[in-house]
């Protein structure tokens, strides 16, 4: 029996006029039926969010009351983490122990923004006019369109829903058509938490109908998007229709710089986790390894050994260490880029093939290639898969040049025992995140975002809430004297 999912619009669950099949990446078989939102569905969701924005049930809540709703949602996420994790694993192929751990931590993001809700403050302005009191109010920006990809979707929606609701906005979330099950199921928790109808709406569908209608809708005031640069360009063009503010968290080609003084065992574990966790399908995947020549041979030997030992298999099995890619299309793309890289002179150290005995699933081996130049396709392009491209350097200046020699700038890693070098590099690396002697650490307290093609704006942390507000200047005249006649010169 196929599982069936529905949209959540205006406080209720509803079917769409059209549906599409969702494929289990581990088996290649259809496992669920998903609703495909039409432009009419999107319009209904946005109008529901606009009504809710000004409804007494939402607009009249105090900031503390909004926070209590978010606390309740956080508890529900934590209590239902196992069920949501199983759905995400079935729909995306991410291994169960990762989805379970990540979704459990998502609850902390909602708790953080619950606590922030009543910390959003305006300001008193000491203006240069003695008979005026002026202050700034921070008010919700309005209806938010949140668009998230299939990977880490509950986390990537939390960093939009959390600050939006804390600020008093309402939101329409579009889940990716590639694996929307956990986010559509999450709508039940929104309902149980007691948010008024229309405050949160969750749907899915395709770009031409659903995505275009959402990002051009005249009632949308802000678009918060996570995905690839090409789709982001479409969204920016669409936003010209409604002049919505945009925040874009995009892809990456993140460098990991390893110096001769680094601990080989420690750094190898970090690199393996940074590129092969989530089968490499992470925007912050450490896909470019830049290693100083003195440590190169020892580190590569250790990495090849560890990569070959990774257990590939059923992502629902707790012993599995790496699952399939999310789609056959992504696997085919990786194979094509890898073939072009080898033809351009890259050297295959391990992997590079579909593993045997995996049936029709979209599996691909953990792969390491050594590359002489930055123009090798696997070095230059974001593959969004389990492929590590390795380059060598001699000096710190060479390492910085290689690291910054990309159109992206989301994350980076530095491994060294030299504290002064670490500080120099954190200043010079063009990336929104610099991890030193660690990788892939996250916290709701810390913002993240990128440079260049890795996006605009930041998500996470306190300042993210302010991006969901706009300021209103309030002038109050304190003098009882009549206002002077403007046409009488003095």
Q: How many CB atoms lie within 10 A of CB 476?
A: 9
DSSP element (H, E) containing 269: helix 264-276
Q: Where are the beta strands (DSSP E) in 313-431?
A: 347-350, 367-370, 387-393, 411-415
pLDDT, residue 431, reads 97
Half-sphere exposure of 472 (CA within 13 A, CB side): 7
Strands 29-36 and 3-4: parallel
SS3 category, 247: strand
Strands 18-24 and 143-147: unpaired
Where b means 16+ CB within 10 Å and e means fewer, 67-106 reads bbbbbbbbebbbebbeebbbbbbbbbbbbbbbbbebbebb
Give the position of tokens 């406080």. 11
CA–CA separation, 366 vs 353, rounded Å?
9
Q: Where are the beta strands (DSSP E) in 148-273?
A: 170-175, 200-204, 220-226, 245-249, 255-258
* Domains detected in the chain: 3-250+450-474 (3.40.605.10), 255-436 (3.40.309.10)
pLDDT, residue 163, reads 98
User: Token digits for 353?
Assistant: 């093939």
Q: How many CB atoms lie within 10 A of CB 452?
A: 18
What spatial distance separates the first Cα and last Cα of the chain, rounded to whole Å?
85
pLDDT, residue 489, reads 77
CA–CA separation, 221 vs 169, rounded Å?
10
Residues annotated as catalytic (active site), given as ranges: 249
- Most distant CA pair in the chain: distance in Å? 93
CA distances from 56 to 34, 38, 81, 320, 413 (A): 33, 29, 32, 49, 48
Q: pLDDT tens digit string along 441-470? A: 999 999 999 999 999 999 999 999 999 999
Nearest Cα neighbor of 303 from 250, 211, 259, 366 is: 366
The series of mean pLDDT values per 10 residues for the chain, 490 residues long, is 94 94 96 97 98 98 98 98 97 96 96 98 95 97 97 96 98 96 98 98 95 98 96 96 97 96 97 96 96 97 98 96 96 97 98 95 98 96 96 98 97 97 97 97 96 95 96 96 87
Strands 12-14 and 3-4: unpaired
Give the position of tokens 């390795």. 390
Strands 200-204 and 387-393: unpaired
Where b means 16+ CB within 10 Å and e means fewer, 108-136 reads bbbbbbbebbeebeeeeeeeeeeeeeeee
Residues 6+ apart with CB under 8 A from 296: 392
pLDDT, residue 12, reads 97
CA dihedral sign, ordered 159, 166, 451, 240 = positive
Angle, vertex CA 87, rays to CA 83 and CA 89, nearest 5: 115
DSSP element (H, E) containing 143: strand 143-147
CA–CA separation, 95 vs 29, rounded Å?
17
Strands 18-24 and 123-125: unpaired
CA dihedral sign, ordered 309, 312, 318, 323 = positive
Q: What's CA 232's distance to the chain center, in Å?
A: 13
């Amino acid at each position: 029996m196929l599982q069936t999912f529905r949209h959540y619009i205006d406080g209720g669950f509803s079917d769409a006029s059209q549906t599409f099949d969702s494929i289990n990446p581990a088996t290649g078989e259809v496992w669920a039926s998903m609703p495909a939102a039409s432009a009419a569905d999107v319009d209904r969701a946005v109008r529901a969010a606009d009504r809710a924005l000004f409804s007494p049930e939402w607009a009249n809540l105090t900031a503390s009351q909004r926070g209590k709703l978010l606390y309740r949602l956080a508890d529900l996420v934590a209590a239902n983490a196992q069920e949501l994790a199983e759905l995400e694993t079935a729909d995306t192929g991410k291994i169960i122990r990762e989805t379970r751990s990540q979704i459990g931590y998502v609850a902390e993001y909602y708790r953080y923004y619950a606590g922030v809700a009543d910390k959003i403050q305006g300001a008193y302005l000491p203006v240069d006019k003695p008979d005026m009191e002026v202050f700034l109010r921070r008010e919700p920006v309005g209806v938010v369109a949140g668009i998230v990809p299939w990977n880490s979707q509950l986390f990537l929606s939390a960093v939009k829903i959390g600050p939006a609701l804390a600020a008093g906005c309402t939101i329409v979330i579009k889940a990716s058509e590639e694996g929307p099950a956990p986010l559509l199921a999450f709508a039940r928790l929104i309902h149980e938490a007691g948010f008024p109808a229309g405050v949160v709406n969750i749907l899915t569908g395709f770009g031409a109908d659903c995505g275009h209608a959402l990002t051009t809708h005249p009632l949308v005031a802000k678009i918060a998007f996570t995905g690839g640069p090409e789709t982001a360009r479409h969204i920016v063009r669409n936003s010209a229709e409604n002049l919505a503010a945009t925040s874009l968290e995009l892809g990456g080609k993140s460098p990991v710089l390893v110096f001769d003084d680094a601990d080989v065992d420690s750094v190898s574990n970090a690199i393996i986790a940074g590129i092969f966790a989530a089968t490499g399908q992470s925007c912050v995947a450490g896909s470019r390894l830049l290693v100083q020549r003195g440590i190169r041979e020892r580190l590569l030997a250790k990495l090849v050994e560890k990569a070959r030992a990774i257990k590939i298999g059923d992502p629902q099995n707790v012993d599995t260490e790496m699952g399939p890619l999310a789609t056959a299309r992504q696997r085919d793309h990786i194979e094509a880029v890898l073939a072009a890289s080898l033809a351009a002179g890259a050297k295959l150290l391990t992997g590079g093939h579909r593993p045997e005995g995996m049936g029709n699933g979209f599996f691909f081996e953990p792969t390491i290639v050594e590359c002489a130049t930055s123009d090798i396709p696997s070095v230059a392009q974001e593959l969004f898969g389990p492929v590590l491209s390795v380059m060598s350097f001699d000096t710190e200046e060479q390492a910085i040049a290689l690291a910054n020699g990309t159109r992206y700038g989301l994350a980076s890693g530095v491994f060294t025992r030299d504290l002064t070098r670490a500080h120099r590099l954190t200043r010079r690396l063009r990336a929104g995140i610099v991890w030193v002697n660690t990788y892939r650490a996250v916290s709701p307290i810390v913002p993240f975002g990128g440079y260049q093609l890795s996006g605009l704006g930041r998500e996470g942390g306190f300042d993210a809430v302010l991006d969901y507000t706009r300021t209103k200047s309030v002038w109050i005249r304190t003098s009882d004297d009549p206002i002077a006649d403007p046409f009488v010169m003095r």
